[in-house]
Structure 1
Amino acid sequence: MPASSPYRRASLDRGWAGLVLLTIALHLSPATGQSSQGQLRPTLDAAAKALAGGQPERAFPLFEAAHRDSPDNLEAARGLVVSALEAGNLAVAEQYGAEFLGRWPTDAQLLHWTGLVYFKQQRTTEALSLLRRSVAQNSSDFGSRFDLALVLLTEKQYAPAAEELEHALKLRPDDSLAHVLLGRAYQNSNRTLQAVTHFQSALKLDPATPLGHYHLGFAYESLGRTTLAIAEYKKEIARGSSNPEVLFQLGSCLLETGDATAAIAELRRAAQLDARNGDIQYTLGKALLASGDNGAAISTLRSAAGLKPSDPSPHYLLARALENAGRKTDAQSEWQRFAELKKAQPQQGGMASGRDQ
């Protein structure tokens, strides 16, 4: 099954990385909150307008001026953190976040924004702590639950991530990205049928959901529904996606159906976009071998072996391609290298390698 292979799972995780960054951007919203002193209102309104218009660099000095004039103003404090965060100035956002949490330790928005600062710095332990505190202070806030789930997913804590997303979707059932993330959590905790339902819901709510067809296709593939998976991958590509992982998954499925020619076309496109991806090179070599093009298979599988030096699988196929080409001595060297690498791998469930040869 595709979902059981660590190589195919790695592919899904790479596709996921891009979605994480996009998801943060789509769900980051300007700080809002308390009324402030009348003389600060024009400055705060201008700052909020700039932030809402996607101009955090313009918003930041306005929030800074408001904070300078009124250090006790919580709205200005929140705005400083979120505008620095959106502008990508993480060091400044962290500095202000820590300072303001010392003064307002139970403010849900400050906890939320500062948690996201830590997340973008890949400091997930600190991010989880603050996001959990934010949820505890305001359990009915969709954004803090959503972002907590996002961090939990990146940490592969699928069950608690699913729980947060279930709560989040009760608050905002029409959020397509939340359905995608919940589908991801279910997919990775062996609840694939439920995952399919949420991927379908996401696409129904928004047919342009980022990587929606990709994730639905992968779920179908893990259920053995290869024809449906191929259709979803093709839909993702038809939307204009040039993601090499989508092309890789499509090529892999086509190869599984025996259509080596179509598989080679997709896998070559994937390899052009991600030439250093050993999994793509391996699968392309496998397709070339299946098509009878031993010369191209040998070259491609040598590249795969170089990119995955501890992986025995490219050497296995390389030995077969060399034998087909009549190069018995070279083939014997590859058989020996395959045996050495396979022996060196830790045993997993009675098998040394999770990849089909």
Structure 2
Amino acid sequence: MNTAAKCMGTACLLLLFTFSPLAQQPTSANEPPQSQQSAAINLTAIRKTIDTGHPADALQRLQDLRKSGDQPGLSRLEGLAHYALNDLKAADTAFAAALVFDPSDIESTQMRGLTLFRLGRPADAIPLLESAAAKGSLGKADPNYILALCYMDTRRYDDARHAFAAQFGFQPDSAAAYLAAARMFLRREFIPVSQTFAQKSLELDPALPLAHELLGEIALAGNHLDDAIAEFQKEKERNPLEGSIYDRLGDAYTRAARYDDAQRSLQAALLLEPNATGPYILLGKTMLKKGDAVAATTYLEHANQLDPSNYITHSLLGQAYRAMSRAEDASRETATAQKLQAATEPRLDGPH
């Protein structure tokens, strides 16, 4: 065979190999098909759209993708977009669908638990959040915290304590765990159980910092002023340089009409915490009670410089200016207080 014929034969073999099915296989057996790669890229881009604050745009793109059929991660992203839009029922439906598609989807597990909690279904949320917490997922919120709130709402107080302890890294039956749970119970206005847990923390550790302060707050919430003052005094003995103790003690003295004691305590609070707004406001209130509108104005104007959005400050300033016959200033401050207070009140016409 001559050289030309050999070359033509070789060219034919090359052409045959190039267009054969074997020649078109991926170079790696582990490499996904091109369509799967494109879908993954699309979902990553849509997730970024949600995370950067454009969930409505993301939903439109997800609807276009769904025309090609379901795929991993699609329902989860729909749930995240609905959640960002505060459409909790639609979010719950989407996360439920994501878990049917993939029961091991930890993000959908946590997010459905969080969604159910916000829908007022804590008992249904608990198993999902327990699963997420066991796997150490964080996501948009620590599942231990939301789980603890669900336990509180279903009156499972010891389970709530254990969840709070896990969040803070405390031993579940320690004095610190009881005190942390007691503080959270007080925040949710579970007054009797908060008091029980705070007292238990002191039984376990009589020298535990801030336990007496919390018992003072509990007594103050129930308007048991003598008990509150006694607890705050005990805490002051343990923490003599903690400014918040003097602030709370001053509040209790003001409510008990012990205005000189309140003034002394609040001035001590300012020495320790000169940038805290609370003592200035309480001193303004105390000085008004003592009939010294000029001194009250000085404290309240400084509080307003620190935090101009506090409606209580403006309300008290209105009273102080009125006592000084500054009618125009009083009217302005009262109107500002009413406007700020209205802005903080819950609304019933928001998104559902």
TM-score (ref. length: structure 2): 0.52
Aligned residue runs from structure 1 range 134-145, under 5 A: 141-145=174-178
CA drift at 1:174: 1.4
Distance 1:117 1:203, change over 3 A: farther
Count the aligned residue pairs. Answer: 206
Select 2:150's aligned residue among 121, 125, 141. Answer: 125
The 8 Å contact of residues 267 and 284 in structure 1, kept in 2 or not, is answered as: yes
Aligned residue runs from structure 1 range 241-260, under 5 A: 241-260=274-293
Percent identity over paired residues: 21
Aligned residue runs from structure 1 range 26-65, under 5 A: none
Partner SS, residue 308 of structure 2: coil
Distance 1:233 1:170, change over 3 A: same
Partners of 1:119 and 1:210 in 2: CA distance: 31
CA drift at 1:269: 0.8
Higher relative contact order structure (alpha carbons within 8 Å, sequence separation ≥ 6):
1
Partners of 2:337 and 2:214 in 1: CA distance: 32
1:303 paired with 2:336, answer yes
Select 1:223's aligned residue among 233, 239, 256. Answer: 256
Distance 1:123 1:143, change over 3 A: closer
- Partner letter of residue 298 of structure 1? S
CA drift at 1:96: 10
Q: Which runs of 5+ in 2 are unaligned?
A: 1-127, 164-170, 345-352
1:189 paired with 2:215, answer no
Distance 1:300 1:155, change over 3 A: same
Partners of 2:300 and 2:177 in 1: CA distance: 39
Partners of 2:196 and 2:204 in 1: CA distance: 13
CA drift at 1:120: 4.9
Partners of 2:322 and 2:161 in 1: CA distance: 54
Partners of 2:238 and 2:322 in 1: CA distance: 42
Partner SS, residue 176 of structure 1: coil
Which sits farther off after the overlay, 118-127 or 181-190?
Answer: 118-127
CA drift at 1:136: 8.2
- Partner letter of residue 193 of structure 1? D
The 8 Å contact of residues 145 and 167 in structure 1, kept in 2 or not, is answered as: yes
- Partner letter of residue 183 of structure 1? G
Which sits farther off after the overlay, 142-151 or 293-302?
Answer: 293-302
Aligned residue runs from structure 1 range 143-292, under 5 A: 143-292=176-325
Partners of 1:244 and 1:202 in 2: CA distance: 21
Partner SS, residue 210 of structure 2: helix
Partners of 2:177 and 2:236 in 1: CA distance: 23
Partners of 2:306 and 2:322 in 1: CA distance: 22
Partner residue, 2:36: none
Q: Deviations over 1:248-300 (max 9, x none)?
A: 11101101111001000000011112212222111101101111222322332
Partner SS, residue 211 of structure 1: helix
